[in-house]
Amino acid sequence: MKSIPELPLRILTHNIRYATSSPFKGERPWEDRRQLLLNELLYNTRNQDSFICLQEVLHNQLIDILSGLNNNEGKPNSQDQWEYIGVGRDDGREAGEYSPIFYRPATWKLQHWETVWLSETPDVPSKSWDASSIRIVTIGAFTHHVSHQTILAMNTHLDDQGSRSRFEAAHIILNKIHEYRSGKFGDVISGVFLAGDFNSEETQEAYSVLMGPESELVDSGKMVSVAEHYGNQITWTGFGYEDEPASRIDYILLGPKGRSWKVEGYAVLANKFDDGVYCSDHRAVVADVALID
């Protein structure tokens, strides 16, 4: 029987900070941050089979990012073109924050996608429990054109205030993974990843559920020795003037546990350089992985 070769790819997740009209102290407006974020995304996905998962993206930011990724000046190759899945969380169309997944159609065939609201009414824009905002998870099933392996990709941003909301949302996400892996895509899904801003440290509710005994997920950052991590450990920094302590709340999780994935590299990138401008109050997380099943 012919073996399937490894499928290497890069997963990048970044909460880009929505384009607020009332910036915090130390925060620059989106117009000043936009190119810095585009440079990060373009540099870290160039010549890579990649997925980009972003959070807090307003519609105007989505258009800016898609346009910037697809700037074809001097690059006629259609292999570089990006598309996205996702909707605004407030109305299921363009209102409110997106949690989009960007991908290259030349590399990945989109089989199916949906947005699920992390509430007691997951099919419609809504919030439940103690959530301060409407929260969603974006889900897509993608098949690699060359290897024909299929990945279930998920991107989320959990509530920053509601502990129970995060707890319940984590269970909804696990149930969706089970639904896909036991449904019509179950025979073809080779691997699953969940990326995003969980607003949960490792000792807190969402991370504990997603890493718990009922979960098939593992933390990509734990699959590489800390001594081999590149960059930082902290993923939320603020803009330098917040009272809250910096923390690790952004993750890339992989499943199913015990097989399918090999993690070859893990990094938390800088969000400020010599110019002193924070591109976001979060740092990007990057995992270089290989699908081996």
pLDDT computed for residue 260 by the predictor: 78
pLDDT values of the chain reduced to their tens digit, one per residue, 293 residues: 345 578 999 999 999 999 999 999 999 999 999 999 999 999 999 999 999 999 999 999 999 999 999 986 555 566 789 999 999 999 999 999 999 999 999 999 999 999 999 999 999 999 999 999 999 999 999 999 999 999 999 999 999 999 999 999 999 999 999 999 999 998 999 999 999 999 999 999 999 999 999 999 999 999 999 999 999 999 999 999 999 999 999 999 999 986 779 999 999 999 999 999 999 999 999 999 999 86
Write the CB contacts of 23 (distance below 8 Å, at least 6 apart in sequence): 29
Quick one: tokens of 171?
């269970």
Determine the distance from the C-alpha atom of residue 217 to the mean position of all C-alpha atoms in its chain, rounded to a whole number. 15
pLDDT value of residue 263: 96
83 - beta bridge partners?
A: 103
Cis preceding-peptide flag for 5 (omega within 30 of 0): no
Of 97, 86, 71, 55, nearest in space to 280 by CA: 55
Rounded CA-CA distance 241/25 in Å is 7
Give which of 84, 62, 150, 158 is closest to 116, Cα–Cα.
158
Give residue 80's pLDDT.
84
CA distance 64 to 41: 13
Structure confidence by residue, pLDDT tens digits, 205-242: 999 999 999 999 999 999 999 999 999 999 999 999 99
- What is the predicted pLDDT for the residue at 1? 35
Dist. CA 195–CA 227, nearest whole Å: 23
Residue 9 structure tokens: 């790819």
Instruction: Check residue 227 and report its DSSP letter.
Output: G
Q: Are 97 and 117 in contact (CB under 8 A)?
A: no
The domain segmentation of the chain, as residue ranges, is: 7-291
Q: Which of 96, 186, 170, 94 is nearest to 137 (CA)?
A: 170
**270-282 burial: b if 16+ Cβ within 10 Å, else e:** ebbeeeeebbbbb
What's residue 5's pLDDT? 73
The CATH superfamily assigned to 7-291 is Endonuclease/exonuclease/phosphatase (3.60.10.10)
